[in-house]
């Protein structure tokens, strides 16, 4: 044993990512060169000598990285780092580090840090990712406005609840005692309804009931609900669409809070909401087309505000959803009610809630039963109107004609089920191409139960169907991320014109494919890629580490794609999915390669898992 | 003020009479640093493991040292020595984990003392519960040099004791143990009973104590130093 | 240019071709291309399946066996072809409908039991190992001859090549590479056969030459039929009459049966039926594959006879008294370097003599027959080279597929699903690669120390498959009442019965391996069929006395056989 080893430092560093990936000898060497300092709150800020850059490794205590203006960028606790940004970017450090809680900090010299980065790929990658995350945080924390805020951040934690057999009298007493305008009504531990002051007004007083009858009689049964991680803005949308003021927030099947319109009003209104509000108020097509011309502006504002790509996708999709619903309602006003139950479906990017600039429309109709001539005419008129209106609003027709106006995709529930079962049992290339689009489906308008039945039967046949999943996998592996030998980018060319790297088809789409395969084989109902991943992690159908890297890679590539499109838009160039690596800084290039490498590795994993090859 | 003057006087006298070159250099450094702010002083955190708690009877088995320079701990210069003893480590092995067979290639106590004072020629000693450690060193010096030596150190236990007394807190038993002190400063707990680990723990504790006291520029070595 | 250099060039060229196709299809097969192409045509797929099917055993050894043992060797031809038909027409469509990609997965789900899956995995791995061991021997023979090294060294080289091909090469599993391999193989096989047929009988088709009269030196019909001449030669030299066969009726029946049912249980062939989009496409490519396999299989007896006559004539000379070793043709000297031909001048006359019994001086390995024929008959050097390339293609195409099956079975079915459920995906991949490496080493060991010649080793693999997997699959499809206890007991009983019988006669007591000691006169090669019957019997017995099959599983079995989805679609 080397007698001068400092066991506690070594023990700590050995467990600490990314040092844990280094050789024992290297870790020992690091420990030797560290210096140790203690920072207490009295000092307020860590004095960072910009001439002598070093990595700060927090051994205990808590720190905050803030900009010169005092805006929070990152919080750092035990086992985390600060001081690396300057060393990675080579720029003068202007951020400050505030001491939140006294603690011990190890310093690692820039020389050693650079040496470790040069010698260990995973070490280098770790800090590059941390840096990227911090850059992104810098944006999202700064722009913590309504469109990207989550419900959890504005809902009140308190929940007033009573059981279904309580009397109205008891209920009203509880409401006034707790000073709330609504109650959650429970039956056998489950949410069965809500009671709002409007219910009391409309159903009790107006009908002259007395206070003895059970709340069950007057409550709003099976109310609309929302999950805690939904965007504030989605909640607003739901309320305004359904014309309600209360939304129980459900977490794992249990109500945890009541979100009211007052909660929402408290958080100020913002552009997407305004836009959707406008969409809902319009009474004719011309006005809708005019309003939808603002969508590109919304997109580029969101890009400029550096919102997360995943959230931009959700916001834009919500606008499309709302536009679709308004159009259907508008036409139905003219045509009269539908002759049978139906459900308007969205596929592809609208289905996955990741629409971006220039997405075309992919939609279809599920009908309750097969149609006669007259009914056929109704749906033909309705769908042709909606599809061409969407086209005029900036959502071009689907080149593959996967649209509700195509009679091929106006099918009864049973026909849809047969269609899907045919694709699954005969996975020829055409069916697999369809699978990529059709399996990402989401109901937009109409009878949701039709959609639910369809989805349930589809997932029953895909779940554990190894042959179908293998065919999907083989198909997904046809396209690979644009990395050549020695990790160089593969640039697409069109004749002599250099097009660049296709971030959509060689990036995000590949991740969507991989995640779809996992989800179908596990029978997961979500269609949004990030929600699918969350579900897969929860069901332990995917390595958590793999899932998180895929999620990061997705966000990084999509974010790059969006910012690139924002740039193209500002320079009045045609907006495309291509990016030229020469225009990127070396750090971004590096990270982009990392993201592609994540895809490459995930492809290897599904090849082994679902195809039995490697 | 008075204490500082007294220390100065004492040191001057010691320097004159000291026969051991390295110890004399140590005294000279102390003298030079007495009025300097502690921030600018080189410190050396020290911990000793013994076969028992009685300096007259028990012996030193290991010494760990780690320097603090520019108010940062430097693991690079940390050192650890095992020391040959007469007889066996006996039951004390259960505390420090050093067995008789580990000591076969160890230094003799003379060599160890020589090495230690070599190391602290330009450093001020720091220890947790310094009296104990220094008494052992003094006893060793006495047996090897046949004459007594005064030693000086900063005691982290003492610092914490004074802090608590100043806050009028009642001292609970065990509240001044090294780990108990460390906990108060949000420092991680180390479990090993090893001279080097404890030296590191002591050094960290001192840094924490100093930064808590604040106004570091004004605190001089003399204010913290004790003679033993 | 001499044959040696030409061989290097042609083998190099064919490898270049495979790699080229792999790169081309990687780069070209974007989704657009794939859809525009409308998938792979059944003829193409049939060829690819053919390449999968025609292993080193078929290519190198089969003709050798037929050549040396005459009628007896034909059991392999019949068994394998029959098994293929059984698999393609009776089993694959049902298995497909069940939606399971591998046989262990089918058995695991059908018998609602992890144990059943594990037993099936072990069986599949065991069978694949035996099969691949046979391939390694064939690969070794090819390399040893054309690198002029000893056969064991040939196996070592072959191990490396197969391992790299399967694990690191991006060539496997690409349909067009398989097609290219089939083309190389069939070309390499047919060219010498046609040459010989024309030279010896004047018929272009070897299949016709096989039953025709020999030509005399002037090119006229000599009036002596080829097979009559060979029968005459055989009896003259103390062998059994060539067309008569030495095996008993029951043994022939059982070997054929074991081969046939074993084929149906072979994991790497079944997978081929699942990688095409539909049952219809699977059937049609199976049909084409049968055609492509038949081209080769019908040629085998002819080639066997041609080469046998030639061999006897070149060794014993036109006068039948032997040729001096000093004047031996070059093929004998080059094969002597590999250790696969040995000359032992017993009577000290300096002449070689080939016969049955005491007077025989030549020890000729059967596996060299196909490879040596072109040299024997002085065909052009490029034909010799082509045959080498064909032999390699045959060995690579099958062993790569099998190695994948083994390694993924070990990593996924055995480790991930049974022993270490918490390993990460990366670890799983690592284990798969390790398993491939271990697999190739074990297979190489058996390739160097074979318990028999190539085709016989493979026959044993088939026997094991027949006795373990086939009954479980068949009953899984066709019996609603077969439960897990029955299936597991059956598989274990069948497999252990067969294994013990083979081990006893092949390893423990090889001297006793004669017809008199065999159970009912059935050789170890044919015992698989009896093992299968044991399996059936045990399974039926055990299932009768144990719990009934759960209702959902019964419905599942019903649904496999009486599909409702497709039926209803046509109703309205």
**Nearest by Cα to A476 from A519, A443, A533:** A519
Distance CA C528, CA C254 (A): 8
Look at residue A342 and tell me if it is in a domain. Answer: yes
Nearest to C101 among A421, A470, A478 (CB): A470
Which residues does chain A have within 8 Å of residue B102's beta carbon, measured at their own beta carbons?
none
The predicted pLDDT at position C26 comes to: 56
- A72 sits in which H/E element: strand A72-76
Which residues does chain B have within 8 Å of residue A31's beta carbon, measured at their own beta carbons?
75
Q: Is the same domain home to A375 and A439?
A: yes
C512 pLDDT above the threshold of 90: no
The predicted pLDDT at position A343 comes to: 92
**SS3 category, C572:** coil
Query: Chains with 3 or more CB pairs closer than 8 angstroms to C?
Result: A
| ipTM for this model | 0.87
Nearest residue of A to residue C570 by CA position?
A418
Which residues does chain B have within 8 Å of residue A46's beta carbon, measured at their own beta carbons?
none
Look at residue A1 and tell me if it is in a domain. Answer: no
Look at residue A179 and tell me if it is in a domain. Answer: yes
Which residues does chain B have within 8 Å of residue A43's beta carbon, measured at their own beta carbons?
211
For the stretch C253-288, what's the b/e string if a residue is b when 16 or more beta carbons lie within 10 angstroms of its beta carbon?
ebbbbbbbbbbbbbbbbbbbbbbbbbbebbbbbbeb
C170 pLDDT above the threshold of 60: no
The 3-state secondary structure of C64-117 reads: HHHHHHHHHHHHHHHHHHHHHHHHHHHHHHHHHHHCCCCHHHHHHHHCCCHHHH
The predicted pLDDT at position A510 comes to: 92
Which residues does chain A have within 8 Å of residue C566's beta carbon, measured at their own beta carbons?
425
The predicted pLDDT at position B154 comes to: 92
From the CB of residue A256, how many other CB atoms can be counted at a distance below 10 Å? 16
Nearest residue of B to residue A39 by CA position?
B211
Tokens 């780990």 found at: B179
Nearest residue of C to residue A490 by CA position?
C27
Domains of chain B: total: 1
- Locate the domains of chain C by residue range: 3-20+40-304+383-422+441-560
Q: Is the same domain home to A136 and A176?
A: no
Distance CA A222, CA C327 (A): 100
Determine contact: C277 vs chain A, CB below 8 A.
Answer: yes
CA distance A67 to chain B (A): 25
**Nearest by Cα to A260 from A250, A248, A274:** A248
From the CB of residue A576, how many other CB atoms can be counted at a distance below 10 Å? 17
Q: Is the same domain home to A170 and A65?
A: no
CB-CB under 8 Å, B194 with A7: yes
Query: Chains with 3 or more CB pairs closer than 8 angstroms to B?
Result: A
Nearest residue of B to residue A62 by CA position?
B186
Nearest residue of A to residue B70 by CA position?
A37
CB C110 within 8 A of CB C553: yes
Chains B and C touch (3+ CB pairs under 8 A): no
CA distance C121 to chain A (A): 14
Chain B residues with at least one Cβ partner in A under 8 Å: 66, 71-76, 78-82, 185-188, 190, 192, 194, 196-197, 200-201, 203-204, 207-208, 210-212, 214
Angstrom CA distances, A520 to A470, B38, C559, stand at 11, 67, 21
The predicted pLDDT at position A515 comes to: 94
The predicted pLDDT at position A517 comes to: 92
For the four alpha carbons of A547, A551, A552 and A556, in that order, the dihedral sign comes to positive
Region C490-495: mean pLDDT is 86
Task: Catalogue the long-range contacts made by A11-17 (C-beta closer than 8 Å, 24 or more residues apart).
Answer: A12/A59, A12/B188, A16/A57, A16/A79, A17/A126
Dump strand ranges (E) for C135-275: 213-215, 221-225
C451 pLDDT above the threshold of 70: no
CB-CB under 8 Å, C565 with A614: no
Q: Give the pairing type, strands C341-343 and A342-346.
A: unpaired
B151 pLDDT above the threshold of 70: yes
Q: Domain span at residue B103?
A: 2-227
Mean pLDDT comparison of A483-487, C393-397, C494-498, highest-scoring range: C494-498
Nearest residue of A to residue C100 by CA position?
A466
CA distance C15 to chain A (A): 20
Sheet holding A442-446, edge to edge: A410-412, A363-367, A342-346, A442-446
Determine contact: A545 vs chain C, CB below 8 A.
Answer: yes
CB A165 within 8 A of CB A216: yes
From the CB of residue B217, how many other CB atoms can be counted at a distance below 10 Å? 10
CA distance B210 to chain A (A): 9
CB A254 within 8 A of CB A191: yes
* CATH number for the domain that contains residue A206: 3.10.580.10
Q: Is the same domain home to A127 and A213?
A: no
CB-CB under 8 Å, C429 with A604: yes
Q: Looking at A4-18, C13-27, C214-228, C532-546, which range is the least confident one?
A: C214-228
C565 pLDDT above the threshold of 50: no
Q: At what angle do helices C114-146 and C369-376 cross, to 10 degrees?
A: 20
The 3-state secondary structure of C257-318 reads: HHHHHHHHHCHHHHHHHHCCCCHHHHHHHHHHHHHHHHHHHHHHHHHHHHHHHHHHHHHHCC
CA distance A104 to chain B (A): 7
CB A326 within 8 A of CB A280: yes
Domains of chain A: total: 4
For the four alpha carbons of A280, A283, A286 and A290, in that order, the dihedral sign comes to negative
* CATH number for the domain that contains residue A496: 1.20.120
Residue C419: is it exposed, middle or buried by C-beta count within 10 angstroms (0-12/13-18/19+)? exposed
Chain A contact probe: residue of C279, C425, C435, C555 with most A CBs at under 10 A: C425
CB-CB under 8 Å, A612 with C39: no
Q: Give the pairing type, strands C341-343 and C362-364.
A: antiparallel
Distance CA C57, CA C136 (A): 9
Look at residue A467 and tell me if it is in a domain. Answer: no
Which residues does chain A have within 8 Å of residue B81's beta carbon, measured at their own beta carbons?
3
Q: Give the pairing type, strands C221-225 and C213-215.
A: antiparallel
CB-CB under 8 Å, B74 with A103: no
Q: Give the pairing type, strands B60-69 and B79-82.
A: antiparallel
Q: Which of A462, A483, A515 is the C-terminal boundary of a domain?
A: A462
Which residues does chain A have within 8 Å of residue B185's beta carbon, measured at their own beta carbons?
38, 102
Q: Is the same domain home to A203 and A340?
A: no
Report, as ranges of residue numbers, the positions in chain A whose pLDDT lies below 70: 1-4, 50, 70-72, 89-93, 132-149, 153-154, 156-157, 205-206, 240-241, 262, 264-274, 304-307, 485-487, 495, 614
Which residues does chain B have within 8 Å of residue A47's beta carbon, measured at their own beta carbons?
none
CB-CB under 8 Å, C274 with A608: no
At CA C316, angle to CA C313 and CA C318, rounded to 5?
55
B35 pLDDT above the threshold of 80: yes
Which residues does chain A have within 8 Å of residue C425's beta carbon, measured at their own beta carbons?
543, 546, 605, 608-609
Q: Domain span at residue A525?
A: 472-611
Region B12-35: mean pLDDT is 86
In CATH, the number for domain C3-20+40-304+383-422+441-560 is: 1.20.1730.10
Q: Give the pairing type, strands B152-155 and C323-324.
A: unpaired
Look at residue A255 and tell me if it is in a domain. Answer: yes
CA distance B132 to chain A (A): 23
Which residues does chain C have within 8 Å of residue A468's beta carbon, measured at their own beta carbons?
99
pLDDT band at C38 (very low <50, low <70, confident <90, very high): very low
* CATH number for the domain that contains residue B103: 3.30.420.10
Q: Is the same domain home to A238 and A303?
A: no
CA distance B160 to chain A (A): 16
**Nearest by Cα to A345 from A265, A397, A413:** A413
CA distance A612 to chain B (A): 48
* CATH number for the domain that contains residue A344: 3.30.460.10
Distance CA C78, CA C97 (A): 28
pLDDT band at C449 (very low <50, low <70, confident <90, very high): confident
**Nearest by Cα to C206 from C215, C216, C196:** C196
CB-CB under 8 Å, B80 with A4: yes
């Amino acid at each position: 044993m080397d007698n001068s080893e400092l066991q506690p430092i070594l023990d700590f560093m050995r467990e600490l990512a990314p040092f844990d990936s280094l050789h024992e000898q290297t870790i020992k060497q690091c420990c030797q060169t560290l210096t140790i300092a203690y920072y207490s709150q009295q000092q307020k800020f860590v004095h960072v000598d910009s001439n002598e850059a070093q990595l700060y490794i927090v051994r205990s205590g808590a720190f905050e990285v803030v900009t010169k203006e005092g805006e929070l960028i990152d919080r750092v606790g035990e086992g985390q780092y600060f001081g690396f940004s300057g060393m990675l970017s080579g720029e003068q450090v202007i951020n400050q580090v505030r001491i939140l809680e006294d603690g011990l900090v190890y310093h690692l010299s820039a020389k050693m840090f650079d040496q470790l980065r040069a010698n260990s790929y995973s070490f280098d990658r770790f800090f590059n990712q941390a840096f990227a995350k911090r850059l992104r945080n810098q944006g999202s924390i700064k722009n913590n406005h309504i469109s990207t805020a989550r419900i959890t951040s504005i809902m009140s934690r308190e929940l007033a609840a009573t059981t279904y057999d309580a009397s109205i009298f008891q209920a009203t007493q509880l409401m006034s005692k707790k000073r709330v305008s609504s109650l959650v009504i429970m039956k056998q531990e489950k949410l069965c309804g809500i009671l709002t002051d409007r219910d009391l007004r409309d159903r009790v007083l107006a009908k002259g009931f007395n206070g003895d009858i059970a709340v069950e009689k007057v409550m709003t049964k099976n109310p609309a609900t929302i999950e805690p991680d939904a965007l504030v803005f989605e909640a607003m949308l739901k309320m305004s669409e359904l014309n309600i003021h209360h939304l129980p927030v459900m977490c794992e099947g249990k109500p945890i809070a009541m979100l009211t319109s007052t909660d929402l009003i408290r958080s100020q209104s913002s552009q997407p909401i305004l836009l959707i509000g406008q969409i809902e108020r319009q009474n004719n097509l011309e006005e809708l087309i005019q309003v939808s011309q603002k969508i590109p502006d919304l997109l580029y504002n969101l890009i400029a505000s550096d919102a997360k790509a995943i959230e931009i996708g959700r916001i834009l999709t919500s606008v499309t959803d709302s536009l679709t619903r308004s159009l259907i309602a508008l036409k139905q006003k003219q045509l009269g009610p539908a002759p049978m139950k139906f459900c308007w479906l969205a596929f592809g990017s609208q289905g996955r809630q990741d629409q971006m600039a220039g997405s075309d429309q992919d939609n279809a109709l599920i009908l309750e039963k097969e149609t006669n001539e007259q009914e056929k005419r109704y749906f033909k008129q309705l769908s042709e109107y909606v599809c061409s209106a969407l086209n005029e609003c900036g959502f071009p027709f689907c080149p593959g004609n996967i649209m509700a106006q195509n009679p091929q995709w106006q099918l009864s529930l049973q026909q849809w089920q047969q269609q899907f079962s045919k694709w699954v049992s005969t996975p020829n290339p055409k069916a697999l191409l369809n699978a990529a689009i059709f399996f990402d489906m989401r109901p937009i308008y109409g009878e949701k139960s039709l959609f639910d039945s369809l989805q349930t039967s589809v997932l029953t046949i895909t779940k554990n169907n190894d042959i179908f999943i293998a065919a999907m996998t083989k198909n997904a592996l046809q396209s690979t991320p644009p990395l050549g030998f020695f990790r160089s980018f593969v640039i697409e060319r069109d004749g002599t014109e250099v097009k660049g790297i296709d971030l959509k088809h060689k990036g995000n789409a590949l991740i969507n494919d991989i995640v779809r395969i996992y989800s179908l084989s596990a029978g997961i109902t979500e269609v949004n890629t990030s929600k699918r991943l969350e579900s897969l992690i929860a069901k332990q159908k995917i390595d958590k580490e793999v899932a998180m890297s895929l999620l990061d890679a997705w966000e990084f590539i999509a974010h790059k794609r969006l910012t690139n499109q924002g740039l193209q838009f500002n320079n009045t160039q045609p907006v495309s999915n291509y990016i030229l690596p020469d225009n990127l800084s070396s750090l971004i290039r590096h990270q982009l390669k990392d993201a592609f490498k994540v895809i490459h590795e995930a492809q290897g994993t599904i090849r082994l898992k679902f195809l039995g090859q490697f | 003020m008075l204490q500082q003057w007294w220390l100065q006087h004492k040191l001057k006298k010691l320097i004159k009479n000291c026969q051991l070159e390295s110890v004399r250099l140590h005294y000279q450094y102390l003298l030079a640093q007495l009025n300097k702010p502690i921030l600018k002083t080189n410190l050396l955190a020290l911990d000793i493991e013994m076969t028992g708690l009685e300096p007259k009877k028990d012996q030193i088995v290991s010494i760990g040292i780690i320097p603090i320079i520019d108010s940062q701990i430097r693991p690079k210069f940390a050192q650890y020595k095992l020391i040959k003893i007469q007889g066996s480590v006996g039951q004390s092995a259960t505390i420090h984990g050093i067995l008789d067979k580990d000591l076969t290639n160890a230094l003799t106590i003379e060599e160890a003392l020589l090495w230690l004072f070599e190391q602290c020629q330009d450093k001020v000693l720091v220890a947790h519960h310094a009296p104990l450690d220094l008494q052992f060193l003094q006893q060793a010096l006495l047996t090897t040099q046949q004459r007594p030596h005064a030693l000086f150190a900063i005691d982290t236990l003492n610092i914490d004791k004074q802090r608590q007394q100043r806050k009028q807190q009642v001292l609970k038993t065990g509240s001044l143990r090294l780990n108990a002190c460390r906990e108060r400063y949000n420092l991680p707990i180390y479990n090993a009973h090893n001279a080097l680990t404890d030296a590191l723990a002591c050094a960290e504790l001192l840094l924490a104590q100093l930064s808590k006291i604040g106004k570091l520029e004004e605190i001089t070595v003399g204010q913290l130093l004790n003679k033993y | 240019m001499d044959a040696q250099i030409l061989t290097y060039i042609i083998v190099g060229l064919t490898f270049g071709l495979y790699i080229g196709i792999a790169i081309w299809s990687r780069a070209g097969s974007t989704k657009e291309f794939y859809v525009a192409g409308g998938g792979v045509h059944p003829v193409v797929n049939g060829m690819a399946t053919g390449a999968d099917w025609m292993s080193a055993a078929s290519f190198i050894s089969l003709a050798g066996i037929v050549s040396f043992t005459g009628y007896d060797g034909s059991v392999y031809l019949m068994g394998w072809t029959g098994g293929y038909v059984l698999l393609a027409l009776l089993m694959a469509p049902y298995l497909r409908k069940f939606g399971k990609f591998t046989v262990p997965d089918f058995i695991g789900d059908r018998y609602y039991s992890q144990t059943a899956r594990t037993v099936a995995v072990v069986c599949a791995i065991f069978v694949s190992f035996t099969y691949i061991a046979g391939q390694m021997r064939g690969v070794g023979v090819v390399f040893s001859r054309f690198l002029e090294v000893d056969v064991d060294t040939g196996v070592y080289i072959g191990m490396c090549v197969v391992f790299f091909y399967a694990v690191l090469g991006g060539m496997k599993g690409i349909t067009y590479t398989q097609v290219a391999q089939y083309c190389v193989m069939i070309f390499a096989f047919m060219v010498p056969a046609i040459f010989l047929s024309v030279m010896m009988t004047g018929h272009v088709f070897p299949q016709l030459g096989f039953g025709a009269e020999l030509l005399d030196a002037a090119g006229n019909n000599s009036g002596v039929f080829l097979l009559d001449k060979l029968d005459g030669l055989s009896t003259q030299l103390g062998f059994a009459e060539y067309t008569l066969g030495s095996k008993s009726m029951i043994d022939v029946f059982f070997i054929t049966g074991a081969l046939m049912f074993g084929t149906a249980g072979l994991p790497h062939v079944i997978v081929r039926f699942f990688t095409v989009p539909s049952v219809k496409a699977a059937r049609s490519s199976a049909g084409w594959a049968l055609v492509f396999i038949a081209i080769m299989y019908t040629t085998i007896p002819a080639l066997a006879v041609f080469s046998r006559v030639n061999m006897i004539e070149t060794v014993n000379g036109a006068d039948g008294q032997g040729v001096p070793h000093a004047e031996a043709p070059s093929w004998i000297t080059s094969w002597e370097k590999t250790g696969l031909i040995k000359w032992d001048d017993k009577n000290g006359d300096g002449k070689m003599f080939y016969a049955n019994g005491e007077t025989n001086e030549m020890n000729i390995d059967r596996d060299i027959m196909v490879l040596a024929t072109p040299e024997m008959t002085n065909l052009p050097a490029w034909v010799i080279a082509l045959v080498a390339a064909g032999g390699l293609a045959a060995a690579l195409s099958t062993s790569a597929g099998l190695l994948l099956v083994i390694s993924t079975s070990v990593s996924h079915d055995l480790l991930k699903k049974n022993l270490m459920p918490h390993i990460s995906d990366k670890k799983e991949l690592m284990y798969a690669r390790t398993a491939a490496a271990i697999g190739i080493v074990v297979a190489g060991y058996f390739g160097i120390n074979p318990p028999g010649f190539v085709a016989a080793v493979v026959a044993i693999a088939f026997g094991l498959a027949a006795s373990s997997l086939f009954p479980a699959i068949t009953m899984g499809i066709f019996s609603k009442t077969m439960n897990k206890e029955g299936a597991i007991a059956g598989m274990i009983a069948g497999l252990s019965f067969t294994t013990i019988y083979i081990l006893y006669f092949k390893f423990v007591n090889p001297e006793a391996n004669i017809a008199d000691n065999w159970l009912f006169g059935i050789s170890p090669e044919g015992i698989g069929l009896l093992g299968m019957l044991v399996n059936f019997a045990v399974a039926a017995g055990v299932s009768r006395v144990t719990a009934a099959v759960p209702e959902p599983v019964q419905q599942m079995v019903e649904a496999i056989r009486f599909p409702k989805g497709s039926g209803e679609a046509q109703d309205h």
